[in-house]
Amino acid sequence: MEIVYLSPAVNIPIGGIKVIYRHSEMLNRAGIASSVFHPEDAAFSCNWFEHNATIRSGKRKLFRKKHEMYEKTRFDPKTDFIVIPEVWANQIGSQCIQRNLRYGIFVQNGYMIHQGGKKNIALLNTVYEKADLILSISEDTTEVLKLSFPNLNSNKICRVIPNIADAFKSQYPPKKKIITYMPRKLTGHAEMIHFFLEQSLPEDWKLTAIDSKSEEEVVALLKESSIFLSFCEAEGFALPPIEAAMAGNLVIGYTGEGAKEYFKSPIFTEVHCGDLIDFIGRIKHMINQLQRIIGSQAYQEQLRNLSEYYSSETESRLLLEFGRRAQQIVNQVD
């Protein structure tokens, strides 16, 4: 039996794709065969981060081109369990149903579920109803799933967590008076905050945008900085804020909803999306309170709890639960 994760063939820093690769790698290490397949390009492999994922290639493509199916790789209902991203639910889920393939849907962002249905919501309901398992990346995503499909069998939902590289959690050098942020999402908000801060930021502090960087460069910058600004909206989990926290930053900004399960004081300070005046005020307050907070017992305890829960051990345990369930489902195929 092999668990085949489908993934877009996109070679830019997108956390969801990295999560797919890491999950597949981890299942392989645990003895459950797994691979990553890119339906848009069977020869594709991400290179913006290092990985040891098995890339599946072959002869049947799952996407339709000009309404005709054409060969790119072959899947076997007796051995393969397909994991579909939520944005491809209808497009690929319907084909899995037609071919009697066992499949799960990996929902990394519940706020994109409707995109997987496009104009055919009835089909979307059928695809989720007939899915053998549904992977949910966060507590918020699970709630959105229940809201989207009130009749969904909740026993199908498998909670998983994203991979947080150990590099973020390792020892870091003395902190500098640097505030980092990622402007890729909500770019307009990031630009306005940058402008406002430049007018009143203490002279010994500086702002650094993290954009178009390799994973190693991101780790290095977050280990240097003291404060990270979170710009996200309608996210399934929001990985950068927790990576920044693991690297020793206090985090200020938006939860994107999905980050609410970990966005707690004293490490995290939530700002309501769009409240830029409050955002600036909280940054200034945090600069003044920085040393007191990171020296507190509450800070150390929260960081320890985050490291223990969002750990490779927890990730592995949850993935193994999913992997074993997928094995049982495939083994039931006649």
> Which residue, chain included where needed, has tokens 């402008």?
195
Q: According to the model, what pLDDT value does residue 61 have?
A: 56
* pLDDT tens-digit series, residues 27-71: 999 999 999 999 888 889 998 888 999 999 865 555 555 433 344
Q: Do the two domains 2-164+312-331 and 166-309 of this chain adopt the same fold?
A: yes
Dig out the tokens for 47 from the structure. 């290179």
- Stated as kind and residue range, the H or E segment containing 315 is helix 312-331
Number of residues that this document lists for the chain? 334
Q: Which of helix, strand or coil describes residue 206?
A: strand
Q: Give the whole-angstrom CA distance, residue 251 versus residue 227.
A: 6
Q: Give the whole-angstrom CA distance, residue 40 versus residue 8.
A: 7
> Helices 276-294 and 187-200 sit at what angle, rounded to 10 degrees?
70
> Which residue, chain included where needed, has tokens 């003291």?
226
Cα–Cα nearest to 88, from 66, 111, 107: 107
Dig out the tokens for 273 from the structure. 């999306």
Q: According to the model, what pLDDT value does residue 57 have?
A: 81
The answer to whether the pTM exceeds 0.85 is: yes
> Which residue, chain included where needed, has tokens 């989990």?
237
> Which residue, chain included where needed, has tokens 């460069």?
217
Cα–Cα nearest to 321, from 23, 54, 17: 23
Q: Could you tell me if 261 and 139 are in contact, meaning their C-beta atoms sit under 8 angstroms apart?
A: yes
Cα–Cα nearest to 305, from 249, 258, 245: 245
Q: What order do you get walking across the sheet with 227-230 strand by strand? A: 206-209, 178-181, 227-230, 250-253, 268-270
Which regions of the chain are under pLDDT 50? 66-72
Dig out the tokens for 291 from the structure. 């040393």
Q: What's 2-164+312-331's CATH class?
A: alpha beta
166-309 architecture in CATH?
3-Layer(aba) Sandwich (3.40)
State how far Cα 38 lies from the chain centre: 18
Q: Give the whole-angstrom CA distance, residue 332 versus residue 334.
A: 6
Q: Which of helix, strand or coil describes residue 197?
A: helix
Domain-by-domain residue ranges, the chain?
2-164+312-331, 166-309
Q: According to the model, what pLDDT value does residue 68 have?
A: 39
